[in-house]
Amino acid sequence: MTIGKNKRHDSSPTHVNGKSIFVDDRPTLQNEIYVQVVGAQCAKGKLQSIDASEALETKGVLGVLTANDFKNNIWGTIVKEQPLLCSDQILYYDEPICLVVAENESIARSAAKLIKVSIKEEEPTFDIQKAIDQKNFCYVATPFLVGDPDSQIAKATHTLKGSFYCGGQEHFYMESQACIAYPMERGQIEVHASSQHPSETQHLVASALGLNYHQVTCVVKRMGGGFGGKESQAAPVAAYAALAAQKFGRPCRIAWDKDEDMAITGKRHPFLNFYEVAFNDEGKILGAKFDLYADVGAYTDLSPSILERAMFHIDGAYYFPDIEVKGTCVKTNTHSNTAFRGFGGPQGTMTIESIIEDIAYTLKKDAFEIRKVNIYQGEDQKTPYEQKVENNQLPKLFNLIETETKYNERRNAINQFNAKRNGKVRGLSVSAVKFGIAFTAKFLNQGNALVNLHLDGTAQVSTGATEMGQGVNSKIAQIVSHALGIDYDDVIVMPTSTEKNHNTSPTAASSGSDINGAAALAACNKIKKRLSILAKKHFLGETFDDVKEIDADTEVEGYKEIIFKDGIVSDLKLKKEIKLKELIGMAYMNRVSLGDYAHFKTDGLGFDKKTGKGKAFNYFTNGVALTEVEIDEYTGELKILTSKIHMDLGRPLNPGIDKGQVTGAFIQGAGWVTTENLFYSPQGKLLSHSPTTYKIPSIQDMPRDFEVNLIENLDLTVNVYGSKAVGEPPFLLGQSVWMAAKNALAYRANKMPQITSPATNEVILMELERVKG
């Protein structure tokens, strides 16, 4: 049995010995060329001319390509509005204008500096509030409305009204955007991309080059990280390489360095959320109104879906009897913001968690008590979009975090520490997550898989999932090895390719293992059915006419009693067994198929976007995190002293990989709310565009005492082998660091702390001065 066991990541040996192949590790071919992007040097304006004469005179430069070289220059995941290369209106700094194609990277980069671009600059908009005032809207969501929140607010004993801002975040994947395009026979193009969405990459390349889909194949072996940044924005990068490959009939490579990747690509969406909340003396929330605004940047990209997921998660882990939620996407002149781990969920959840800290400050109560009063109880309470919260583990998780961390003792110790006033102040907070698992666009909740069982008892598996370090291939290998009763090392998950798995959904929304794992299991079960029928007839000593009986749709009595385990196929009723390899050989000799394809779709989803009601998610992943921090009152320096996490992941497929995901997600989430700040020049150029100017968490930012626990939950039945998704939910728990910082500030405050996110050392120091004033 491999399900529920700690099996090594399938790429861990080659990661350690340096033999893992990423896109830019592929050997350079003798006739390979390189393409370099030239970006706009203003945030808004009219493109008037491109002078490439000096670049074209450079030895080794093959050509300069512009928007006119594409058969179709417009793309967009939801709205077809974004140019691959700007031909008229420039809408953000470093927006791609043209491509320099040269014999190698060095020549291409040097020649790109010789391109002269004439632009008539216009007044840009960078501030989200200014964009709201200008009504520069590109999408307005259908509101959620339950009960009568206005009435509750009007008669409530206590109300809070205000706004909450949380900033963007750079994906900072280790492998920057990269692609190699190979021209093939009959006008075909094969692209090897660092992409979370091979099918979108395939489709955009075909559209841009004037090809049919069957003429383009996209292959993804692995990525060096993605976090959502390669869901949509890897596709135009592939189109640049493919265009040059098509034009010059030679393989073409593109591989951005970290600086240009950060400057060109979109980030997590900044949000400005307005709220009004009513509550009683106990801190019980009676009603609330939320109005969310997402800064989409220059183009729509995936923003409507990201906004809606923020709306889906504005309730956090807490029940609202009366609530209204509105949402709007606004455009500014920055790079097009895009998918990022959590996909809008963090921006929603962080708002309500901050409000709960404010409620606690107002009532002079512990915020943990406010949270316990408001969490979802049982399975009958419904979300603001009227979905039942089934398999609700939140009360159990809150009890565990309170008892196992000795919460009250910790709070008392902090009270005593802060009373000393020794130049440091500590804070403590618990935040929670109730993260919905499924694509909110219903049609994306599907996947397919191909399983080939070979004569030596080994298997190759192909799915639409893409491996970006999260371990999806390892989990799929475990599912297949468990289903077929073979060793984990006897299963290899092949590179994702659109020629084997068509119309794939992106590996996103934490659904990679769910959808593709279920499809792989279904394919295994088809093979097992044929082998089980064959085994049953063999054990009974019956003769059979290969294909006619073994592949029949009709049921054969008793075949479900056949068990596949440890390379043995056995019949528990007849007490007979045969080696799997022997049975496979028998199947082959009798012309019984040993491979199969299966399609899976998530059943039961039924959210109606027109009414804003229905079942949006297959299930919820729950978790809680306790964090204690210490702030230096003279410098604003923040240290994480303790973080204790309890997660409900159902029956984990691989506890070790899942714990790694929880750990990494928490730290990434903590970085978003503390150290990771995006700085722009007054002209709109990203200044924090490198590892030296953008501060992701380091070892010094880790909790000194860090613990991750997975609780037992055997009641979930709607997902493959009872598992729950882990990719995005624990990211939201990193918010507990920010909440603990806000709690620490409250100890020194003469007025309610109002820090924004990220709470950098500078923000904390200035807030200390404000609240003391």
Q: Does 498 have pLDDT greater than 80?
A: yes
Residue 555 pLDDT level (bands cut at 50, 70, 90):
low
Alpha-carbon gap, residue 489 to 128, rounded angstroms: 51
pLDDT given for residue 545 in this prediction: 66
Residue 399 pLDDT level (bands cut at 50, 70, 90):
very high
Q: Does 552 have pLDDT greater than 60?
A: no
Topology at the third CATH level for domain 12-123+171-264:
Aldehyde Oxidoreductase; domain 4 (3.30.365)
Length of the chain: 773
Classify residue 265 by its DSSP letter.
Answer: S
* Range 216-245 burial, b when 16+ CB lie within 10 A, else e: bbbbbbbbbbbbbbbbbbbbbbbbbbbbbb
CA 7 remoteness from chain centre: 23
Given a contact cutoff of 8 angstroms between Cβ atoms, the answer to whether 318 and 367 are in contact is no
Classify residue 757 by its DSSP letter.
Answer: B
Q: Which residues are within 8 A (CB) of 519 and not within 5 positions of it... i.e. 6 or more apart?
A: 447, 448, 449, 463, 464, 598, 599, 600
Q: Does 551 have pLDDT greater than 70?
A: no
pLDDT given for residue 731 in this prediction: 98
CA 329 remoteness from chain centre: 20
The strand pairing partners of 63, in sequence order, are 101
Residue 322 pLDDT level (bands cut at 50, 70, 90):
very high
Fold matches, 12-123+171-264 and 442-601: yes
pLDDT given for residue 548 in this prediction: 62
Q: What tokens does 347 get?
A: 């921006």
Please give the average per-residue pLDDT across 593-602, as a whole number: 97
Nearest in space to 274 (alpha carbons), one of 288, 259, 254, 258: 288
pLDDT given for residue 2 in this prediction: 86
pLDDT tens, 213-262? 999 999 999 999 999 999 999 999 999 999 999 999 999 999 999 999 99
Q: Mean pLDDT over all residues of the chain? A: 96
pLDDT given for residue 560 in this prediction: 80
Alpha-carbon gap, residue 227 to 194, rounded angstroms: 12
Alpha-carbon gap, residue 11 to 20, rounded angstroms: 7
Domain ranges of the chain: 12-123+171-264, 125-168+267-371, 442-601
Given a contact cutoff of 8 angstroms between Cβ atoms, the answer to whether 101 and 62 are in contact is yes
Given a contact cutoff of 8 angstroms between Cβ atoms, the answer to whether 225 and 174 are in contact is yes
Lowest-pLDDT range, 44-48, 539-543, 632-636? Answer: 539-543
Please give the average per-residue pLDDT across 40-62, as a whole number: 98
Looking at the domain covering 442-601, what would its CATH class be? alpha beta
Nearest in space to 337 (alpha carbons), one of 147, 117, 166, 552: 166
Residue 457 pLDDT level (bands cut at 50, 70, 90):
very high
Q: Which residues are within 8 A (CB) of 318 and not within 5 positions of it... i.e. 6 or more apart?
A: 285, 352, 356, 371, 374, 375, 376
Residue 542 pLDDT level (bands cut at 50, 70, 90):
confident
CA 346, 315, 308 angle in degrees (round to 5)? 60
pLDDT tens, 166-200? 999 999 999 999 999 999 999 999 999 999 999 99
Point out the catalytic residue in the list 105, 728, 767, 769.
728
Alpha-carbon gap, residue 490 to 239, rounded angstroms: 36
Q: How far apart are the first and last CA of the chain?
A: 63
Q: Which residues are within 8 A (CB) of 158 and not within 5 positions of it... i.e. 6 or more apart?
A: 278, 279, 280, 281, 359, 362, 363
Q: Which residues are within 8 A (CB) of 642 and not within 5 positions of it... i.e. 6 or more apart?
A: 626, 627, 628, 703, 704, 705, 706
pLDDT tens, 703-755? 999 999 999 999 999 999 999 999 999 999 999 999 999 999 999 998 999 99
Given a contact cutoff of 8 angstroms between Cβ atoms, the answer to whether 665 and 341 are in contact is yes
Alpha-carbon gap, residue 527 to 347, rounded angstroms: 44
Q: What percent of the chain has pLDDT over 70?
A: 98
> In 588-745, at which residue ranges do the beta strands (DSSP E only) sit?
595-601, 619-632, 638-648, 705-711
Alpha-carbon gap, residue 14 to 11, rounded angstroms: 6
**Tokens 């968690």 belong to which residue?**
353
Alpha-carbon gap, residue 23 to 489, rounded angstroms: 25
Q: Does 283 have pLDDT greater than 90?
A: yes
Please give the average per-residue pLDDT across 539-553, as a whole number: 70
Q: What architecture (CATH level 2) is domain 125-168+267-371?
A: 2-Layer Sandwich (3.30)
Q: Which residues are within 8 A (CB) of 279 and not within 5 positions of it... i.e. 6 or more apart?
A: 156, 157, 158, 159, 160, 285, 286, 359
pTM: 0.97
Is 676 known to be catalytic? no
